[in-house]
Structure 1
Amino acid sequence: MFGFSIFLNEEMTDQKKEYIQKMATIGFSGIFTSLHIPEENPETYKKRLKQLGLLAQSLQLRLMVDISGTALEDAGFSLERVSELKAIGVTGLRMDDRITTMQIAEASHQITVALNASTLSVKDVNELQELQADFSNLEAWHNYYPRPETGLDFKWFRQKNQWLKQSGFAIQAFVPGDGVRRGPLYEGLPTLEKHRRQHPLSAALDLEVDLVCIGDGDLAKETQRQFKLYNTEQTILLHVEPYDEQIQLVLGQHQNRMDEARDVIRSADARFNKPSSVLPLPAMKREVGTVTIDNVNYLRYMGEIQVVKCPLPGNEKVNVVGRIIEKDRSLLSAIQAGTKFILESV
């Protein structure tokens, strides 16, 4: 399940509303926002939250609101009146450490509550059990980390998630956006540091959690298209920089063979759509992401289409016709046995 972020420090412009509607149509199912309100803007944030909530409600999107301390009260709401939040489309509250366990337990009987996945402890879980919290409404949400070098370590993240799963929590994490990144640092909003510069879709598929949210408030239009293809057709779209006119022989829809190779992605469809002849090109070293087609020198393998997963030497029987653009190369790890993919020239 994928979600995206909308921040309330900016007006709910027509452009932002169009973005929200577009994300809903391409398979995103939830919105994350924050009520960390500057002291001078409580009424503004209340108005914008209502606008966002009602739009989310109309599009049948979940809306998780991050709160801390007196944020709800500052905006004119209260944990004592959760029904008011639900009425405007809020479906969940992400609560930080300054909200009491009793408040969390009580709220869990009325609305979805997200806890801080990184700091949640056995003691916290035991207290929530003693207070008879509704665990079916509790989720564990990791933070995002705006400052470079502070994102979570992948090994620690996986170990923490093993315990969270055993404790029965649905787990959420963030990946960076690749459109307009959020200030003031503009360095992406990932949960894991290794994802800070990675393609949002490959980062999302790498997380292995129940819920993935785009941390930044914007996805590039072509990345939106890649998410749409994955959401609707379970297909990975790869953009290829062409090296030769023979690129036309490899473009289009493919499926990785079920007997997954170690070094290359092999198109299972190529053997059924062989060109009449593939003339040899000068042999070139095959870097990661190189797109190739076997030439006449490979005899019955002529016409086989591959995408290279690890560096390989040049081969006079294999024509190098293009290379996956740098941004998309991390998506190669998402192509496993039987995965559908599209090669599209840039």
Structure 2
Amino acid sequence: MRQLGISIYPEKSSQEEVMRYLDAAVEAGFTRVFSCLLSVEKEKEVVKEEFKTINQYAKDKGFEVIVDVAPRIFEALSISYNELGFFKEILADGLRLDLGFTGSEEAMMTYNPYDLSIEINMSNNVHTIDTIMDYQPNVYNLIACHNFYPHNYSGLGLEFFENTTKRFTQYGLRTAAFVTSQNDATFGPWPVTEGLPTLEMHRKLPLDVQVKHYLALNLVDDIIISNCYPSEEELASVSGLDLSLVTFDVEVAEGLPETERKIMFEELHMNRGDQSENLLRSTQSRVKYKGHHFERFNTPDIIRRGDIVIETSYYGHYAGELQIALNDMQNSGNSNVVGRIKEDEIFIIDAIKPWQKFRLREKK
């Protein structure tokens, strides 16, 4: 089951601030926490008590807690890869290895007696995960998560992201990636605060659009807000999203008839398997509404990329079919433009694959 997650940085916030954030996040439907141990400088017992208090609060709210660590932290806190009791003591559900070992160690760690998840950094397109799999890990305790990138232009490109992600998904591992809040006051674990996405193309996009893009790509399971603290409006924008598919926000055409409205917003849409290079085509509505007369009411000369079309009865057996334009096209005069994908979401239509499902909802 796909989860939405948040990130917390106990070294940079008061416990009260973190707990208020956890309260707001659980109300918005978030169920996972990424917590950072990378910048810890305090004594081991102090660290243990601080993290234990926050993690207990998070777990009482129903959150899963994964703690980010690196080999330097293992040394600083006198933790051995073959004795992970420290993480159980701070009530973590797992640990993310920002930098890994040789493959053998990671595999052995998945057999820890505390049933902790071992999360692998998946932002490098190398054979690390293949090596770990060669050492026969307990795959039920092995998960993976991408990095985030605080410096402008340093995030992953889409093609690289897709290629490296598939290295992990081929093994059926649960995966995660990060989205970034656009709140001006946000911060992460490092001094640079120019956004904190996994994908560079997400750096300036609204939070909900980033989430929808990941849903359309359908490559990662969990989607985590990387920086603190998102605004109430941002949390609300993703609260209630169907995480099994992408839902596009739509501006409707003036004078939209009731049947066309039902087709747009009450139907589960599916892109045809024989995909056109010009259109996403959802055809079940033409079967359901066969016999209904679809009159012309909005037939502009040019159908623009991102426009939503429902064919009129002047197109014969195509009547009632819903389409989304992938390119600008000349209108024959028989195609009604019934709405338009929200401008900053239009790029997501390129990610919709043959047979992929999606929904539409009216833009608020």
**Which bin holds the TM-score, normalised by the shorter protein?**
0.7 to 0.9
Q: Give matches, 1:255-334, under 5 Å.
A: 255-257=268-270, 259-260=272-273, 261-262=275-276, 263-266=279-282, 268-269=284-285, 271-273=287-289, 278-295=295-312, 297-299=314-316, 301-332=318-349, 333-334=351-352
Q: What letter corresponds to residue 239 of structure 1 in structure 2?
A: D
Matches within 5 A, 1:119-268: 137-164=141-168, 168=171, 170=173, 172-178=175-181, 180=183, 182-183=186-187, 186-197=193-204, 199-205=209-215, 206=217, 208-209=219-220, 211-217=222-228, 218=230, 220-225=234-239, 228-231=240-243, 234-246=244-256, 249-250=260-261, 251-257=264-270, 259-260=272-273, 261-262=275-276, 263-266=279-282, 268=284
Question: Which consecutive unaligned segments of at least 5 residues does structure 2 have?
Answer: none
Q: Structure 1: 5+ residue runs without aligned partners?
A: none
Q: CA deviation at 1:71?
A: 4.0
Q: Is the 8 A contact 1:176 1:188 kept in 2?
A: no
| Cα pair 2:282 2:322 within 8 Å, conserved | yes
The amino acid that maps onto 1:189 is: L
TM-align CA RMSD? 4.0
Count of aligned positions: 336
Distance 2:355 2:192 in 1: 39
SS of the aligned residue for 2:249 comes to: strand
Report the AA paired with residue 177 of structure 1: T
TM-score normalised over the length of structure 2: 0.72
CA distance in 2, matches of 1:165, 1:266: 28
Cα contact 1:3–1:211 (8 A) shared by 2: yes
- Measure the CA separation in 2 of the matches of 1:241 and 1:165: 35
Query: For 1:329-344, what aligned pairs fall within 5 Å after superposition?
Result: 329-332=346-349, 333-334=351-352, 336-337=354-355, 339-344=357-362
**2:272–2:280 CA contact under 8 A, matched in 1:** no
State the match for 1:86 in structure 2.
88
When structure 1 is superposed on structure 2, of 187-196 and 315-324 the one drifting more is 187-196
With over 3 angstroms needed to count, the CA separation of the structure-2 counterparts of 1:335 and 1:150, relative to structure 1, is same
| Aligned-partner Cα distance in 1 for 2:285–2:251 | 21
Identical aligned residues as a percent: 20
Relative to structure 1, is the Cα distance of residues 300 and 211 closer, same or farther in structure 2, using a 3 angstrom cutoff? closer
Q: Structure 1 residues 129 and 298 mapped into 2: Cα distance closer, same or farther (>3 Å)?
A: closer
Give the TM-score of the pair, scaled to structure 1: 0.75
